[in-house]
C-alpha cells in the first residue's frame, strides 16, 4: 500500500511526525513524501525575496536529506498546491495520505476541506497533531472563559511550571523572580560593539534559487547577499553562535535601538523556528544549560526563555483562540491606508528610514524596531490593522499566517479588544530617543512637539492621546499617558491637533 506524506514548506522538522508515523505503520518502502512549491503562493503578495529564498532552499535541502535516508521524495513545482498534489496523486497513486496539521488557519482549512475533496473516496486522509508548538502538543493552559483576558505573564508562568523550566527543586523560579525585565532596558553603550550576524555562504542549490527568485514579480528587496541558514545543521550553528557570542548580553540590550548593529544581541532564530529547522524546547533546555554552566546571567536566560515559551507560544495560542475573526478586528476603528514610503523606505524620519530600509533589504528587524518604531507609527497614524498585517506578512523573513495577526492586530495595534495585550504599545519620540541613537542626524527634533522641526512621533502621539483621552483614562495601564496632557496648554493642544491633521491628510 503506497502512502503519501505531504510535508509543507514550514514543517521541515527533523523527526516529522507524519513521516515517522507512516514509516512505522507501513514501512519505509511504501512511503512517498510529497513536497509542493506553488508558484501562485509565492506571488499572492509581494514577499521579501530573501524570505522566498529561505523557504525554497530549505525545502530543497530538506528533501535532499530525506533522500539520503532512503526515503522517496516527490518534489513538485507547480502553479498551485492543488495542481502539485494532483500531479503527485496521478503518478504515485497512493491509497492513503498522511500530513501534520498546518500551523495556520488557511492551511488547516485546506487540509480539512479542500484536500479531502481532492483525494476523493478512494484515498484516505489522516492528519497528525502539529508538534512545532508546545501548547498544541500538551495544551497545559486552562482555557479562560470566552472573551476573558488571560495575560501573557500568567500564561508564561503556567508554561514554566508545566514544563519545569528554570525552577528550583522547591518549584520556585530560579534567580528569585519570574521576570527580570527591569534589568533588560539598557541603551547600548558607545564602546559596546555587538558581533556581526552569522553568514552562511550560499551553495549551488541556494544560488540557483536566488537567481530564480530575483526574477519573481511582484516581490520586495533582493535575493543578493542571502546568508541565512537553510539546513538544520546550519540552524544549529546559528544557535550555537548566539549562545557563544550574544547570549550573555541578550538581556540587558533587548530593548535598545541603534544604527550601529543589525540585530544587536538578538538571536535571529525565528526564521528557523518558524519553518521547523529548530524546535522550541531544544532551545529552552540549551539556554537553561548555559545558565547552569555560568555562560549567561539570569536576566538574559530568563528573557530569552520568556520569548520562546512565553511570547511565541502565547501568540500561537491567541491566534487559534481568535481565528477566524481575528483579521477583521479593528477596536480603534483605524481606516487609513499604509503610506507609500513603507515600500521604499524613503522618508526623512531617520528612525523609520532605518527600520524600513533594513526590512526591505534583509527581511529582518529586531522586536523593538518592529514594535516601538514601525507599528507604533501605524497605531498613532491610525492605519487599518488588516493593511498593516499584510505589510508585515510581506516583508519579514519569519512571517507566517499564525504569527502575524496576534503580533500586529493583537499586541501592536490592540485591535482585538485587548485579548492579546492589555494596552497598545504607543510612545512619543522621547522613547525612541531614550533607547538609542536613531534620532542622531534626523531632520526632526525629538524634543519638539510641533512646528517645522516637530517630530511626527510627537504630534501624532499627543493627537492620539487627545483623540482617545476618555478611553485611555479608563485603562489602568494607559491612564498615566493621559496624565502627560497636563503639560500641554490649550494653545499647544490645538497646535498638535492642527499639525497631526495636516500630516495625516497628506499621507
Ligand atoms: C509588529 C510585529 C511583527 C512581528 N512579526 C513576527 C513574525 O513575522 N514572525 C515572528 O516569528 N515573530 C514576529 N514578531 C515577534 C518578534 O519581533 C520576532 O519573533 C523577533 O523579532 C525575531 O527576531 P529574533 O529571532 O532575533 O528574536 P529574539 O529577540 O532573539 O527572541 C527569541 C525568539 O523568541 C520568539 N519570539 C519572541 N517574541 C515573539 C513574538 N511576539 N511572537 C512570536 N515569537 C516571538 C521568536 O521565535 C524569536 O526567535 C513580530 C513582532 C511585532 C511587534
Ligand atoms: S526625531 Fe523623531 S522621526 Fe527623527 S529619528 Fe527621532 S523619533 Fe524618529
How far apart CA 470 and CA 478 sit, in angstroms, is: 11
Q: What is the pLDDT of residue 278?
A: 98
**Which among 452, 394, 398, 427 has a CA at the least distance from the CA of 257?**
427
Instruction: For residue range 181-200, list pLDDT tens digits in order.
Output: 899 999 999 999 999 999 99
Confidence band of 474 (pLDDT split at 50, 70, 90): confident
Helix (H, G, I), strand (E, B) or coil at 271: helix
Q: Counting ligands in written order, which one lies closest to the CA of residue 347?
A: 2
Q: Which ligand is nearest to the CA of 394?
A: 1
| 52: DSSP letter | H
First to last CA, the chain: 61
Share of the chain above pLDDT 90, in %: 91
73 sits in which H/E element:
strand 72-78
Residue 206, SS3? helix
Phi-psi region of 133 (alpha: psi -120 to 50; beta: other; left: phi over 0): beta
CB hemisphere CA count around 453 (13 angstroms):
9
Ligand of minimum distance to the alpha carbon of 314: 1
pLDDT score of 178: 96
Rounded Cα distance between 430 and 446, Å, is 6
Q: What is the tens place of the pLDDT at every residue in 26-37?
A: 999 999 999 999
Residue 239 pLDDT > 70: yes
The total domain count for the chain is: 3
User: Ligand 2 site: residues with CB under 6 angstroms?
Assistant: 349-351, 429, 432-433, 438-439, 442, 444, 446, 455-457
CA 350 to ligand 2: nearest atom: 5
pLDDT in tens, 475-490: 878 777 787 889 999 9
What pLDDT is stored for residue 246 in this prediction?
97
Measured torsion, CA atoms of residues 258, 262, 263, 265, in degrees rounded to the nearest 10:
-70
Give the span between the Cα atoms of 55 and 216, in whole angstroms: 14
Residues 114 and 151 in one domain: no
Q: How far is the CA of 35 from the centre of ligand 1 (A)?
A: 27
CA 404–ligand 1 middle distance (angstroms): 10
**Would 188 be classed as within a structural domain?**
yes
pLDDT > 60? residue 280? yes
- If you take atom 45 of ligand 1, which residue's CA is the nearest one? 312
In a shared domain, residues 157 and 298: yes
**How many angstroms is it from 127 CA to the middle of ligand 1?**
28
CA 32 – CA 72 distance, rounded (Å): 5
How far apart are alpha carbons 3 and 276 in whole angstroms? Answer: 23
The string of pLDDT tens digits covering residues 421-432 is 988 899 999 999
Residue 209 included in any domain: no
pLDDT reported for residue 477: 81
Instruction: Give the model's pLDDT for residue 475.
Output: 83
Judgement on whether residues 358 and 430 belong to the same structural domain of the protein: yes
For residue 73, the cross-strand partners are 33
Whether residues 113 and 173 share a domain: the answer is no
Taking CA atoms only, the protein residue closest to ligand 2 atom 5 is 439
CA 370–ligand 2 middle distance (angstroms): 15
CATH code, 41: 3.40.50.620
344 C-alpha to ligand 1 centroid (Å): 23
Distance, CA 468 to ligand 1 centroid (Å)? 29
Question: What single-letter DSSP state applies at residue 167?
Answer: B
CA dihedral (411, 412, 416, 418) in degrees, to 10, reads: 60
Residue 305 has pLDDT above 70, yes or no: yes
Give yes or no: residues 269 and 296 share one domain: yes
116 shares its domain with 175: no
Q: Are 426 and 477 in contact (CB under 8 A)?
A: no
Q: Which atom of ligand 2 is nearest to the CA of 444?
A: 1
Ligand 1 pocket test target in 314, 367, 385, 395 with most atoms within 8 Å of CB: 367
- Domain containing 400: what range? 341-505
> Which tens digit of pLDDT belongs to each residue from 332-386?
999 999 999 999 999 999 999 999 999 999 999 999 999 999 999 999 999 999 9
Residue range 407-417, pLDDT digits in tens: 999 999 999 98
**DSSP letters spanning 14-37:** TT-HHHHHHHHHH-GGGEEEEEEE
Helix, strand, coil share of the chain (percent; to 5): 50, 10, 40
Q: Is the CB of 4 under 6 A from ligand 1?
A: no
Whether residue 230 is contained in a domain is answered as no
What is the rounded average pLDDT of the residues 215-233? 98
Specify the pLDDT at position 138.
60
Ligand 2, atom 6, residue with closest C-alpha: 439
Cell numbers linked to 144: 479562560
Query: Three-state DSSP class for 445?
Result: strand
Asked whether 328 and 409 are in contact (CB, 8 A), the reply is: no
At 265, list the grid cell. Answer: 544581541
The model's pTM? 0.96
Same domain, 90 and 163: no
Chain centre to alpha carbon of residue 90: 37
Q: Is 224 exposed, middle or buried (0-12, 13-18, 19+ CB in 10 A)?
A: exposed
- Whether residues 26 and 158 fall in one domain: no
Distance, CA of 229 to CA of 450 (rounded, Å): 45
- The answer, yes or no, to whether any atom of ligand 1 lies below 6 A from the CB of 399, is yes
Shared domain for 263 and 395, answered yes or no, is no
The answer on 152 and 81 residing in a single domain is: no
Q: Helix (H, G, I), strand (E, B), or coil: what is residue 213?
A: helix
Does residue 147 surpass a pLDDT of 70?
A: no
- Residue 420 near ligand 1, beta carbon < 6 Å: no
For ligand 1, the distance from its centroid to the CA atom of residue 410, given in whole angstroms, is 14
In a domain, 283, yes or no: yes
Among the candidates 322, 350, 381, a domain finishes at: 322
- Residue where a domain terminates, one of 322, 355, 388: 322
Distance from the alpha carbon of residue 437 to the mean position of ligand 1, in angstroms: 22
- From 270, 317, 370, 424, the mutation candidate for ligand 1 (largest count of ligand atoms within 8 A of CB) is 270
The CATH number of whichever domain residue 304 belongs to comes to: 1.25.40.80
Residues 486, 438 share a domain: yes
Contact in structure between 224 and 172 (CB atoms under 8 Å): no
Ligand nearest to the CA of 428: 2
Q: Using CA atoms, how far apart are residues 7 and 102, in angstroms rounded to an integer?
A: 10
Distance CA 49, CA 217 (A): 10
Q: 267 CB less than 6 Å from ligand 1?
A: yes
The protein residue with its alpha carbon nearest to ligand 1, atom 42, reads: 312
Rounded Cα–Cα distance for residues 165 and 264 (Å): 26
Condensed to tens digits (0 to 9), the pLDDT of residues 119-142 reads 999 999 999 999 999 987 666 566
**Residue whose CA is at the smallest distance from ligand 2 atom 3:** 349
Q: Are residues 94 and 164 in the same domain?
A: no
Whether residue 89 is contained in a domain is answered as yes
Which is more confidently placed, 461 or 484? 461
Ligand closest to 448 (CA) is: 2
Domain CATH for 475: 1.10.579.10
Query: For the chain, what is the largest distance between any 2 Cα atoms, rounded to a whole number of angstroms?
Result: 80
Query: How large is the average pLDDT for residues 221-249?
Result: 98
Round to whole Å and give the CA distance between 85 and 94: 11
By alpha-carbon position, which residue is closest to atom 7 of ligand 2?
A: 429
- pLDDT tier for residue 146 given thresholds of 50, 70 and 90: low
Position 55 pLDDT exceeds 70: yes
Measured between alpha carbons, how far is 167 from 170 in angstroms, rounded to an integer?
8
Question: What ligand is nearest to the CA atom of residue 439?
Answer: 2
Instruction: Average the pLDDT over each of 77-81, 237-241, 286-290, 467-471 and give the range with the smallest value.
Output: 467-471
Q: What local confidence, expressed as pLDDT, does residue 483 receive?
A: 78
Return mean pLDDT, the chain: 95
- How many beta carbons lie within 10 A of that of residue 121, not counting itself? 6
Amino acid at each position: 500500500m503506497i502512502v503519501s506524506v505531504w510535508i509543507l514548506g514550514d514543517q521541515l522538522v527533523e523527526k516529522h511526525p507524519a513521516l515517522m508515523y507512516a514509516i512505522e505503520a507501513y514501512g519505509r518502502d511504501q512511503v512517498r513524501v510529497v513536497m509542493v512549491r506553488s508558484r501562485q503562493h509565492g506571488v499572492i503578495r509581494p514577499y521579501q525575496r530573501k524570505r522566498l529564498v529561505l523557504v525554497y532552499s530549505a525545502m530543497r535541502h530538506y528533501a535532499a536529506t530525506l533522500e539520503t535516508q532512503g526515503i522517496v521524495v516527490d518534489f513538485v513545482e507547480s502553479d498551485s498546491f492543488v495542481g502539485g498534489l494532483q500531479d503527485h496523486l496521478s503518478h504515485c497513486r497512493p491509497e492513503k495520505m498522511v500530513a501534520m496539521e498546518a500551523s495556520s488557519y488557511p492551511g488547516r482549512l485546506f487540509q480539512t476541506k479542500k484536500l479531502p475533496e481532492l483525494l476523493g473516496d478512494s484515498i484516505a486522509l489522516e492528519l497528525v497533531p502539529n508538534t512545532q508548538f508546545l501548547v498544541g502538543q500538551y495544551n497545559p493552559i486552562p482555557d479562560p472563559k470566552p472573551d476573558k483576558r488571560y495575560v501573557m505573564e500568567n500564561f508564561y508562568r503556567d508554561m514554566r511550571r508545566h514544563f519545569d523550566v528554570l525552577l528550583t527543586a522547591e518549584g520556585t523560579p530560579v534567580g528569585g523572580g519570574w521576570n527580570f525585565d527591569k534589568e533588560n532596558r539598557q541603551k547600548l553603550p558607545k564602546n559596546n560593539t555587538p558581533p556581526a550576524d552569522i553568514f552562511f555562504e550560499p551553495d549551488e542549490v541556494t544560488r540557483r534559487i536566488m537567481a530564480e527568485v530575483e526574477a519573481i514579480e511582484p516581490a520586495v528587496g533582493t535575493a543578493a547577499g542571502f546568508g541565512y541558514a537553510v539546513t538544520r545543521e546550519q540552524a544549529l550553528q546559528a544557535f550555537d553562535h548566539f549562545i557563544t557570542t550574544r547570549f550573555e548580553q541578550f538581556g540587558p540590550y533587548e530593548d535598545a535601538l541603534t544604527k550601529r548593529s543589525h540585530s544587536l544581541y538578538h538571536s535571529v532564530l525565528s526564521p528557523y523556528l518558524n519553518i521547523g529547522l529548530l524546535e522550541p524546547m531544544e532551545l529552552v533546555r540549551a539556554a537553561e544549560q548555559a545558565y547552569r554552566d555560568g555562560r549567561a546571567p539570569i536576566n538574559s536566560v530568563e528573557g530569552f526563555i520568556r520569548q520562546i515559551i512565553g511570547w511565541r507560544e502565547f501568540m500561537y495560542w491567541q491566534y487559534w483562540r481568535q481565528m477566524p475573526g481575528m483579521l477583521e478586528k479593528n477596536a480603534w476603528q483605524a481606516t487609513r491606508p499604509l503610506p507609500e514610503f513603507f515600500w521604499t523606505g524613503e522618508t526623512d524620519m531617520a528612525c523609520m528610514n532605518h527600520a524600513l530600509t533594513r526590512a526591505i533589504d534583509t527581511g529582518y528587524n529586531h522586536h523593538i524596531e518592529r514594535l516601538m518604531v514601525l507599528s507604533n507609527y501605524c497605531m498613532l497614524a491610525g492605519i487599518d490593522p488588516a493593511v498593516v498585517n499584510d505589510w508585515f506578512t510581506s516583508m519579514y523573513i519569519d512571517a507566517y499566517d499564525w504569527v502575524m495577526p496576534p503580533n500586529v492586530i493583537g499586541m501592536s495595534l490592540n485591535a482585538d479588544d485587548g485579548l492579546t495585550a492589555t494596552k497598545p504599545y504607543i510612545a512619543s519620540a522621547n522613547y525612541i530617543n531614550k533607547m538609542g541613537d536613531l534620532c542622531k542626524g534626523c531632520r526632526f527634533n525629538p524634543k519638539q512637539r510641533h512646528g517645522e522641526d516637530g517630530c511626527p512621533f510627537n504630534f501624532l502621539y499627543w493627537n492620539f492621546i487627545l483623540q482617545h483621552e476618555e478611553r485611555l483614562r479608563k485603562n489602568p495601564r494607559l491612564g498615566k499617558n493621559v496624565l502627560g496632557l497636563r503639560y500641554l496648554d490649550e494653545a499647544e493642544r490645538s497646535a498638535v491637533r492642527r499639525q497631526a491633521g495636516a500630516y495625516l491628510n497628506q499621507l
